[in-house]
Structure 1
Amino acid sequence: MQDSAHLLRTRRFLPIFVTQFLGAFNDNLFRTSMVMLVIYGIYRDATQEATFSAIAGALFILPFFLLSALAGQLADAGDKARIVRIVKTAEILIMIAGAAGLLWHNVPLLLLALCAMGVHSTFFGPIKYAILPQHLRDDEVLAGTGLVEAGTYIGILGGTLLGGVLVLQRPDGSFHAEWAALAVLGVALVGRIAGQFVPPAPPEASAPTFRMDWHIVRASIRLVSGTLHIPRLFLAIVAISFFWAMGAVLAAQFPPLVKNAFGADQTVATLFLATFSVGVAIGSVAVNRLLGGKVSARYSPASAIFMGLFVLDLFRRVKGWPAPTDELRDLTTFLGMPNGWMVVLDLLGVAIAGGMFVVPLYAFLTTTVAKAETARTIAANNIVNSGFMVAATLILTVAVQMGVTVADSLLIVALSSVLAAWLGWKLHLACD
């Protein structure tokens, strides 16, 4: 068995782990606070709420689609640790605008800050995976990738819980988010301090030089085409993209699902998001144990099938759920209802299977190519991922306007998992 905990005691891994953890924490602290404030405190219409959730998801993902090629080139051309520090400084400025949006209940400003955080994550995303082969041994990369993914989702959990708690309801029924505004600024500052300790990660002296292409459309097309023509990378990237497209639909629908299908309040919405985060973290660490540190897609097909089965069971329970009442159910009432705990277990199963599916594929991307090309490979993956996610959220938005329910979208996700399993199986046959 490959022990991964020792990496948390080393300077070559701990600072980047803490930095990415705090980035994920703050992303979700801000996003959850924003969603809870808008859905429970500003809007009063189910269609508006579902549309807002889908648009917010698309705005966060769009920068990945537009700017990942530039982010990958910069990461491979320069010192990744220096870029980390620049990005974390920018996060402080973004969160000043985000905090203002929370204080003023200004939806356009909130969405602008969310999109800017998407830009922040676009430039940080290639680094958090591509830096690992530079600082870790070959037999540590899967463990490090699993810890990064687990840390990301534990950060999501913490940010989600805190974001749900810090949006408070006044006696008159209105909502306010002053504490959430203060928290997002504080976490951004701590993240910048952590980024200062990331060890240098310059390009290798023997790495071939390349010219930066600042034309984002041409660079994106060139990067994706140069990566996807390699069959094993094509299979891994498309499989990861299906996973994130399914995840985007689920994440966008969690708050509307809780309020309009289960008739529950924001405490239950927070539980759903937290359960999903814990599950992915568990799956991310467990798959490293099962594989013994070896990078392999062996368990990806079965993981995708189990993910689909859990979503299908969730769909069945949503369809049979009692009609919402005028008064939203709190957490205790929800869990006390027949099948309340089974809904939570379904979500946990989806997430554990998802973590086991995707972590080996990320490790595969960073170990299959030369170290000088890892950031661009991750960037190409991010472009395709974001394209799938934006397409999924746009289709979801249109479908909601046409009367497709949240439960129906769950059925679509369940069916999509079959294709993800097939891609995982093809990659397993090609590479293992």
Structure 2
Amino acid sequence: MSLSSHDHPNQFALLKQRRFAPFFWTQFLGAGNDNLFKFALTVMVTYQIQVSWLPPSLAGLVIGALFILPFLLFSATSGQLTDKHDKTAMIRFVKWFEIAVMAIAAWGFMSVNIPVLLACVFLMGLHSTLFGPVKFAYMPQHLNERELTGGNGMVEMGTFVAILIGNVVGGLLVAVPQVGPTYIAWACVGLAVLGRVLAQAVPPTPATDPGLKINWNPFTETWRNLKLAHENVAVFRSLLGISWMWFFGAVFLAQFPSFAKEVLHGDEHVASMLLVVFSIGIGIGSLMCEMLSRRHVEIGLVPLGAIGMSVFAIDLYFASRGLPPSAPLTVSAFFAQPAHWRVMADLLLLSLFAGIYSVPMYALIQLRSKPTHRARIIAANNILNALFMIVSSIGVGVLLALKFTIPQVFLIVGLLNAVVAFYIFMLVPEYLLRFVAFLATRLAYRFRVKGDEHIPTEGAAILVCNHVSFVDAVLLMAASPRPIVFIMDHRIFQIPVLGWMFRLAKAIPIASQKEDPATYEQAFVRARQVLAEGDLLCIFPEGAITRDGQLAEFKGGIMKILETNPVPVVPMALQNLWGSFFSRIGGNAMTQPFRRGFCSRVGLLAGPAVPAAQVSPALLRERVAALLAEPLPGVPAGVPRPA
């Protein structure tokens, strides 16, 4: 864990704070009410009443389609409304709307009026369409960068728990003889009213683009939103990545009843158990993100999640094929057979990794989107999610029509997930690079950071650091919530693997002016461009990796950059890397793999930024030297440092 003096409380502590708790419980109740209502209606139409124009086999499909239709039609409009108006006012309006819809639905349940209830399904889909951009645009205005991953994890966990509870309670209440529909009616209205009461405690959240002129044409505005999202490549690819996760998840959720009955030979309670396990997995994975990311937006977790999703989806195929037929099994009889444990473990783990995959992507979108356009970007995400889920349904339907078995469908989706993930990571190398940095700082080293609040989360800045090893840049990547562009000795690019990785990271090669004047000048041109675009630039002012472990004199190249781009300069120091496999101790690096063993302790310290007007090479060297003299992060003062 990062040991910053500015550490925020953990994600569960957010539930004690007004800026998060009322919002969390409001969205929790809304998601629960949606699913209680939909599932109760599905059970009613499937088991309790006969509707000639809505056969039971189509009930779930029709209800799902009606609910998702507003996301396609009105997401673009809801994104504009959220950017234009105070988000807290939008939350309260949406909750009033929910009360009105649920009051109509209550009458529909008590009078068993199916057309009215189906109309309410569409209106509750509109309710969720309006709330979606508000939910994800609200958090970045109240949570800082260090809290964003934990906040998203809590919301993702809460959403799936609410879905689960809503389905279970809806199924139980509607099944009560004679009075079930009445109980459902009161429950829906009661949850809506309670949500509105809690919404009153949500703090003000000012509009980010109050002057926005609303385009009421949903089709032209949808296209405009998608183009707007496409302006930031990393954000747009993340939207596609999240939509793919919904594609992936929809395949499993839609097939649980058939999978339980036809493959696992379980009864309807086993089908419900699959949903319980899937929801618990998503919740656990979502909550793990803050711990794994050390309370930063760590997109290095996304490849880890994608790998886990594929591995356990593929293993689910092998675990579930060839199970012997039997009479419908109860939950206890199902778990009495050890062969089923592997199936449930696969399901739990693939959903857990789906949670790890999705939460950092949501946080990245919130962090990197322009505040004035954030809700519209999230609306574009909702549109893409809906489209991907529709394509998922069609694709699975085609595979089943071609006589593929459900386990074979899971296998195909698991393999396809690996292909799609690899494609996305090649399009946005930052995911892959952060994954490498994530592994390096948790497997090769025990990496701790102190003073990371000094690394700017927005705006241009120059980071300067001592140069100890060939993986200094990798460790700095892991410490920063934002991409860093490095200026590095051109000879490093000739090293296998490392050279490929630094080229992928768009690092800037530099040579001495005498050795290669063109490369020297081009490095400064590119460095100025990085700062002009508001990004982070990192320089190793010693000019080369140390050969004796000592801090060398800082060269004056940084002054040439500051002449045209006077930005803050953040001094940083890497500790305890000298003597590691990647350092030049003994003359050559990377010659003794186990010199320090595995997981040796290393640290990074960042100091306060120095204004451009005060910068000099001597001052920066003095600041870095002072940081090197501080205790290693994670080791109390007075404790000897590891060799």
Do the two structures share a fold, i.e. TM-score over 0.5?
Answer: yes
Tell me, in whole angstroms, the C-alpha distance in 1 between the residues paired with 2:207 and 2:232.
23
Match of 2:318?
A: 316
- The alpha-carbon deviation at position 70 of structure 1 amounts to 0.4
Contact 1:156 1:274 in 2 (8 A): no
User: Against the structure 1 CA distance between its residues 114 and 256, is the aligned structure 2 distance closer, same or farther, given a 3 Å change threshold?
Assistant: farther
* CA deviation string 1:386-431 (max 9, x = no partner): 1111221233345555555433432332123213432553441477
Aligned mate of 1:125, from 129, 132, 139: 132
- AA aligned opposite 1:193: V
Aligned mate of 1:264, from 260, 263, 266: 266
Instruction: Say yes or no: does 1:394 pair with 2:389.
Output: no
- Give the TM-score of the pair, scaled to structure 1: 0.88
Question: What pairs with 1:226-245 in structure 2 (closer than 5 Å)?
Answer: 226-245=228-247
Match of 1:358?
A: 358
Contact 1:160 1:273 in 2 (8 A): no
Question: What pairs with 1:347-426 in structure 2 (closer than 5 Å)?
Answer: 347-400=347-400, 403-423=403-423, 425-426=425-426
Match of 1:113?
A: 120
- Bigger drift between 310-319 and 12-21 goes to 310-319
Tell me, in whole angstroms, the C-alpha distance in 1 between the residues paired with 2:111 and 2:396.
29
Contact 2:283 2:355 in 1 (8 A): yes
Larger RCO: Structure 1 or Structure 2 (Cα < 8 Å, ≥ 6 residues apart)?
1
Match of 2:479?
A: none
Tell me, in whole angstroms, the C-alpha distance in 1 between the residues paired with 2:98 and 2:355.
27
Instruction: Say yes or no: does 1:165 pair with 2:172.
Output: yes
- AA aligned opposite 1:92: I
Structure 1 unaligned residues grouped into runs of 5+: none
- The alpha-carbon deviation at position 229 of structure 1 amounts to 3.5
Tell me, in whole angstroms, the C-alpha distance in 2 between the residues paired with 1:163 and 1:321.
32
Contact 2:139 2:148 in 1 (8 A): yes
Tell me, in whole angstroms, the C-alpha distance in 2 between the residues paired with 1:162 and 1:213.
40
Contact 2:110 2:181 in 1 (8 A): yes
- AA aligned opposite 1:187: L
Contact 1:50 1:400 in 2 (8 A): no
Indicate the SS of the match to 1:131. Answer: helix
Kindly, what percent of the aligned residue pairs are identical? 37
* CA deviation string 1:127-180 (max 9, x = no partner): 11101111122322222111111211221222233233334276xxx9955433
* CA deviation string 1:287-334 (max 9, x = no partner): 111111211210211211211222222233333233353xx4322222
Match of 1:306?
A: 308
Match of 1:200?
A: 204
Match of 1:64?
A: 71
Higher strand share: 2
Aligned mate of 1:86, from 78, 93, 99: 93
- AA aligned opposite 1:415: L
- List, as ranges, runs of 4+ consecutive aligned residues in structure 1 with deviation greater than 6 Å: none
Superposed CA RMSD in Å reads 2.7
- The alpha-carbon deviation at position 11 of structure 1 amounts to 0.8
- The alpha-carbon deviation at position 354 of structure 1 amounts to 0.6
Tell me, in whole angstroms, the C-alpha distance in 2 between the residues paired with 1:323 and 1:114.
38
- The alignment of Structure 1 onto Structure 2 pairs a total of residues equal to 422
Tell me, in whole angstroms, the C-alpha distance in 2 between the residues paired with 1:423 and 1:177.
48
Contact 2:235 2:369 in 1 (8 A): no
Match of 2:299?
A: 297
Tell me, in whole angstroms, the C-alpha distance in 2 between the residues paired with 1:116 and 1:247.
24
Contact 1:57 1:252 in 2 (8 A): no
- AA aligned opposite 1:333: A
Match of 1:216?
A: 218
- The alpha-carbon deviation at position 245 of structure 1 amounts to 0.9
Indicate the SS of the match to 1:125. Answer: helix
User: Against the structure 1 CA distance between its residues 105 and 322, is the aligned structure 2 distance closer, same or farther, given a 3 Å change threshold?
Assistant: farther
Contact 2:133 2:379 in 1 (8 A): yes
* CA deviation string 1:23-63 (max 9, x = no partner): 111122223333444445569xxxx7665444433332222
* CA deviation string 1:106-133 (max 9, x = no partner): 6555443323221111110111110111
Tell me, in whole angstroms, the C-alpha distance in 1 between the residues paired with 2:316 and 2:247.
18
Tell me, in whole angstroms, the C-alpha distance in 2 between the residues paired with 1:337 and 1:103.
43
Contact 1:238 1:423 in 2 (8 A): no
Contact 2:309 2:350 in 1 (8 A): yes
Match of 2:497?
A: none
User: Against the structure 1 CA distance between its residues 102 and 264, is the aligned structure 2 distance closer, same or farther, given a 3 Å change threshold?
Assistant: farther
- AA aligned opposite 1:184: C
* CA deviation string 1:242-277 (max 9, x = no partner): 001111222222223223433433322222212211
Contact 1:54 1:394 in 2 (8 A): no
- AA aligned opposite 1:59: L
Structure 2 unaligned residues grouped into runs of 5+: 2-7, 434-481, 484-643
* CA deviation string 1:211-270 (max 9, x = no partner): 211000000001111212421112101111100111122222222322343343332222
* CA deviation string 1:52-94 (max 9, x = no partner): 4444333322221221110100000001111111111221232
Tell me, in whole angstroms, the C-alpha distance in 2 between the residues paired with 1:42 and 1:128.
36
Contact 2:228 2:377 in 1 (8 A): no
Tell me, in whole angstroms, the C-alpha distance in 1 between the residues paired with 2:137 and 2:238.
16
Contact 2:148 2:296 in 1 (8 A): no
Tell me, in whole angstroms, the C-alpha distance in 2 between the residues paired with 1:151 and 1:365.
20
User: Against the structure 1 CA distance between its residues 177 and 249, is the aligned structure 2 distance closer, same or farther, given a 3 Å change threshold?
Assistant: farther
Tell me, in whole angstroms, the C-alpha distance in 2 between the residues paired with 1:385 and 1:101.
30
Contact 2:95 2:196 in 1 (8 A): yes
Contact 2:149 2:289 in 1 (8 A): no
User: Against the structure 1 CA distance between its residues 347 and 38, is the aligned structure 2 distance closer, same or farther, given a 3 Å change threshold?
Assistant: farther
Contact 1:54 1:397 in 2 (8 A): no
Tell me, in whole angstroms, the C-alpha distance in 1 between the residues paired with 2:367 and 2:206.
18
Aligned mate of 2:11, from 4, 10, 31: 4
User: Against the structure 1 CA distance between its residues 103 and 416, is the aligned structure 2 distance closer, same or farther, given a 3 Å change threshold?
Assistant: farther
Tell me, in whole angstroms, the C-alpha distance in 1 between the residues paired with 2:106 and 2:154.
30
- The alpha-carbon deviation at position 355 of structure 1 amounts to 0.5
User: Against the structure 1 CA distance between its residues 138 and 317, is the aligned structure 2 distance closer, same or farther, given a 3 Å change threshold?
Assistant: closer
- AA aligned opposite 1:21: F
Match of 1:179?
A: 183
**Pair member with larger Rg:** 2
Instruction: Say yes or no: does 1:154 pair with 2:161.
Output: yes
Tell me, in whole angstroms, the C-alpha distance in 2 between the residues paired with 1:344 and 1:201.
42
Contact 2:298 2:360 in 1 (8 A): yes
- The alpha-carbon deviation at position 182 of structure 1 amounts to 2.9
- Bigger drift between 376-385 and 355-364 goes to 376-385
User: Against the structure 1 CA distance between its residues 101 and 414, is the aligned structure 2 distance closer, same or farther, given a 3 Å change threshold?
Assistant: farther
- AA aligned opposite 2:187: A
Higher helix share: 1
User: Against the structure 1 CA distance between its residues 213 and 40, is the aligned structure 2 distance closer, same or farther, given a 3 Å change threshold?
Assistant: same
- Bigger drift between 262-271 and 59-68 goes to 262-271
Contact 2:145 2:296 in 1 (8 A): no
- AA aligned opposite 1:117: M
